[in-house]
Amino acid sequence: MSCFGCTADQLKSLESAPAAIGTTNEIVVVTDQNTWDGPIGDSLRYYFETPYLILPQPEPLFDLRHFTMQELYDEPLRKQLRTYLLLGDLQDEDSRISQEIKKDLRAENVRRTKEDQSFSSTAGRNKWAQGQLVVYLWGYGEEAVINNIRKNFPAISRKVKEFDRPQVEASAYVMGMSSVVSGKVQQHMDLTLKLPLDYKVAIQDTSFMWLRKETRHLSSNIMLHKVPYTDKSQLTKAGIKEIRNELGKKYITTEVEGAYMQINDIDLPMFTENVKVNGQFALEARGIWDIKNDFMGGAFISYLVLNPKTNELIFMDGFVHAPGKGKRDFMQQVEYVLRSLKF
């Protein structure tokens, strides 16, 4: 257990502290009301509520909730949430949030904030409850705080996502893991995936598998396909798009005659980037799909990975269909499953 700036008495009190509660992708912003309502709050929302890439309807990267210090202490349950961002202008001596940040930083680090402008953020754990992440972000003056929000957003975003990872895993595997379906994937595709228990094999042929999870409100799907690696042009935006569209046209249809799945990169762009999946180089693609000649659509994430043992490209794709529901959390879960890839 760790708590940035905690005294011995505070650490002792945490031994019987309650467990933190809350959901993934939620950040509780603790700052003064005038800060939240002004340019600093606008800048914070601009970065932290940027749209999650990429969904049919915009959903924010993080869900933000705001409390002042007074509101936080007026209702004890508000101090038992999972993820906090304490945001303050340390130039304002009368600000309650600035006083709280300075108290937690302690005198030595407060002096450092004045001498070293690059020192503008830090993080601690378990300030009010066990299992909390508490991020501190500050500056001296409005302009400095806004600049530090921009500068620290990537690192804070990564920290929150890493903190949320166990909860994403718990949601993805709430029913447990399927050794049966994972075994079929290993035998057929020469790779291992940690697959949730509620996924079933829908289609399997020579080089392709379609795995499905069906509930009343959600259809979550994984496509796996292997093709011989011939040249670098396959590991491009055009190459991964061609593979996905070919599989969608061949395998994914509805009861409507002539219906098939295709990437829709007209209404929204398809984004690609080079990433690492469990240490393996991969081309990642994110976008939306729809069914030609029918009224269905949703989000997808694809990976194209070279299997060094077989010199084959492994295409992995996750897509969801959840009419009227938010897609962000479902996509994070299917992404987590795909990123469990091992050769």
Distance CA 224, CA 208 (A): 6
Per-residue pLDDT of 239-286, as tens digits, reads 999 999 999 999 999 989 999 999 999 999 999 999 999 999 999 999
The answer to whether residues 226 and 134 belong to one domain is: no
pLDDT tens for residues 210-221? 999 999 999 999
Considering 126, 145, 172, which residue would you say is the last residue of a domain?
172
For the cut 70, the answer to whether the pLDDT of residue 26 exceeds it is: yes
Residue 1 lies in a domain: no
Give me the pLDDT at residue 1, please.
37
Number of domains in the chain: 2
Model confidence pLDDT, tens digit, residues 82-94: 999 999 999 999 9
Q: Provide the mean pLDDT of the chain.
A: 94
Give the residue from 172, 201, 225 where a domain finishes: 172
Query: Does residue 255 sit in the same domain as residue 108?
Result: no
Per-residue confidence (pLDDT) for residue 3, from 0 to 100: 54
Band (pLDDT 50/70/90 cuts) for residue 238 is very high
Q: Is residue 325 assigned to a domain?
A: yes
In a domain, 288, yes or no: yes
- Shared domain for 44 and 138, answered yes or no, is yes
Domain-embedded: residue 320: yes
Domain boundary among 172, 188, 219: 172
Segments forming the whole domain that contains residue 248: 179-338
Same domain, 128 and 40: yes
CATH number at residue 91: 3.30.379
Plot region of 55 (φ>0 → left; ψ -120 to 50 → alpha; else → beta): beta
Residues 100, 193: one domain? Answer: no
**How many Cβ atoms are within 10 Å of 306's Cβ, its own excluded?**
18
pLDDT at res. 56: 94
Q: Which two tokens stand for residue 267?
A: 């209404």
Query: Per residue in 72-109, is it b (16+ CB within 10 Å) or e — as a string?
Result: beeeeebbbbbbbbbbbbbebeebbbbebbbebbeeeb
Q: Which two tokens stand for residue 220?
A: 């979550």
Rounded Cα distance, 302 and 285, in Å: 5
For every residue of 110-145, DSSP letters joined together read: HHHHHH-TT--EEEEE-SSSBT-EEEEEEESSHHHH
Does 330 lie in the same domain as 312?
Answer: yes
Residues 6 or more apart whose Cβ sits within 8 Å of residue 155: 121
Q: In this structure, is residue 267 part of a structural domain?
A: yes
Query: Is there a single domain that holds both residue 160 and residue 50?
Result: yes
Q: How far apart are CA 339 and CA 244, in angstroms?
A: 18
pTM value? 0.91
